[in-house]
Structure 1
Amino acid sequence: MKHYTISSLSNKIKQNEIDWHHIPALHIDTYPWFEQGSKQTTVVKLAASPTHLYMQIVAQDNHSYAIQTQLNHMLICEDSCVEFFFSPSGELDSDYINIEVNCCGTLHIAYGPNRDKRAFISLESASKISCLTSISSPIKLEQAQDNSWQVELVIPFKVIEELTSKAVNLKTWFGNFYRCGGRIEPQYAVWNTIDVPQPDYHRPEYFGKLVFED
């Protein structure tokens, strides 16, 4: 099981004040289902204040693609996308949240015990999440100059509690990170390896450990 420490931030820090260069990175660089094509770099960094979770995603992408613009659309995972699945209770094999974001910043967020039983975030709760992207348009088709994209999310812990109806554990989570989607050379990479024959990200038994810095 891989481990990652979520860096501690001041409660008064603003999103544009975070020095991401000093936040340790994790790499989505394991390809359980690799067949062919290029393996593109995906780096994620996490930090937390007492009230908010901060996440930065930097993805190498030679074929950036996104057409979904609707919150919680089921096909966001087919766009150029990064996903973060985690158990905010701090208990392994408990109900988990999946946060999926495409390269243009469209979100899919849900909570439940498995793939089939999911409660989706409301528009009201999702509106409290800040999302900054390096791509300014709501959709993105592949272009010859494609190289990479970046997304930064700021998620209030209260939004997580609104979705789960439970207090967030600010000591330990279990979770995994995934890269997926795109029409050309689709990426199916994970942070903590998943040992199943076909791509399947709803596998909380393969979550790694996330520890909040004291």
Structure 2
Amino acid sequence: MLAANDFALEEQPWPQYKTDAEVRFSIVHNNESIFILYRVKEKHVRHVTTAINGAVWEDSCVEFFIAFDGEGYYNCEFNCIGTALIGYGTGRNNRELLPADVVRMVHVDTTMRKENDAYVWELLLQIPVQVFVKHTVTSLSNVTAKVNFYKCGDLLPEPHFMCWNKINSATPDFHRPDFFAAAVFEEVTSMASI
């Protein structure tokens, strides 16, 4: 269960991709939407992908995966300029990308600045429940799900793969629902943490 609303991505399960990037995120909901604020500090940034459902994982990218049942999960991926990819499926292969008009329902705000020898960027997401088109989610109150949060940059000068809940696999692979952690979206009458 997510007991607070501020977390660090501290797990780096693949030592060959070690990074000194700093990543924190906060998550809240208001019954109708999930709000996630990512705060990233890293030496290099890349923001090439501008097409919806493009290869955002090759850029400076943060990701949120969520499963509402044991059938499948959504992978919500965003590069540092807010370009989004959202898919659904049961594993890494045979994923179905959601239609562009559904992906566009996610509201994204981004900021970036240079701070000494690093880039500091923030990404604020508002993900309405209507994005989860494979499920009938009308309210998040008391909904139980399984989640994980990630940071990657496959084509950065120093590729890296960070996660919130540790993954045990020989090679980098975020598509591992067996390593998602349980989360309960607490009942709220106004904005509150999960």
TM over 0.5: yes
In structure 2, distance between residues paired with 1:156 and 1:105: 16
Structural mapping, 1:65-76, within 5 Å: 65-73=46-54, 75-76=55-56
Structure 1 gaps of 5+ residues are 6-22, 137-141
Q: Percent identity?
A: 29
Structural mapping, 1:6-25, within 5 Å: 24-25=5-6
Partner residue of 2:33 out of 52, 58, 62 = 52
Asked whether the equivalents of residues 83 and 100 of structure 1 are also in contact (C-alpha less than 8 Å), the reply is: yes
Partner residue of 2:177 out of 179, 199, 204 = 204
Structural mapping, 1:168-183, within 5 Å: 168=137, 170=140, 171-181=143-153, 182-183=155-156
Say how many residue pairs are matched.
183
Structural mapping, 1:127-166, within 5 Å: 127-135=104-112, 146-160=118-132, 162=133, 164=134, 166=135
Runs of 4+ with >2 A deviation: 35-39, 142-147
The residue number in structure 1 matching 2:136 is 167
The residue number in structure 2 matching 1:191 is 164
Deviations 1:62-82 (A, max 9, x none): 111110001111x21111101
SS in 1 for 2:16: coil
1:38 aligned onto 2:7:
no
Tell me the TM-score normalised to structure 1 length: 0.78
In structure 2, distance between residues paired with 1:49 and 1:62: 34
Q: Which amino acid aligns with 2:78?
A: V
Tell me the TM-score normalised to structure 2 length: 0.86
In structure 2, distance between residues paired with 1:208 and 1:118: 21
CA spacing shift, 1:133–1:52, aligned 2, 3 Å: same
Asked whether the equivalents of residues 112 and 119 of structure 2 are also in contact (C-alpha less than 8 Å), the reply is: no
Q: Which amino acid aligns with 2:100?
A: L
Structure 2 gaps of 5+ residues are 188-194
In structure 2, distance between residues paired with 1:53 and 1:154: 6
Instruction: Tell me how large the CA RMSD over aligned residues is.
Output: 2.2
In structure 2, distance between residues paired with 1:45 and 1:157: 18
1:106 aligned onto 2:75:
no
The residue number in structure 2 matching 1:82 is 62
The residue number in structure 1 matching 2:191 is none
The residue number in structure 2 matching 1:95 is 72
Q: Which amino acid aligns with 1:187?
A: H
Partner residue of 2:10 out of 29, 32, 42 = 29
CA spacing shift, 1:32–1:157, aligned 2, 3 Å: same
The residue number in structure 2 matching 1:8 is none
Asked whether the equivalents of residues 180 and 189 of structure 1 are also in contact (C-alpha less than 8 Å), the reply is: yes
In structure 1, distance between residues paired with 2:106 and 2:79: 15
SS in 1 for 2:2: strand
Q: Which amino acid aligns with 1:85?
A: F
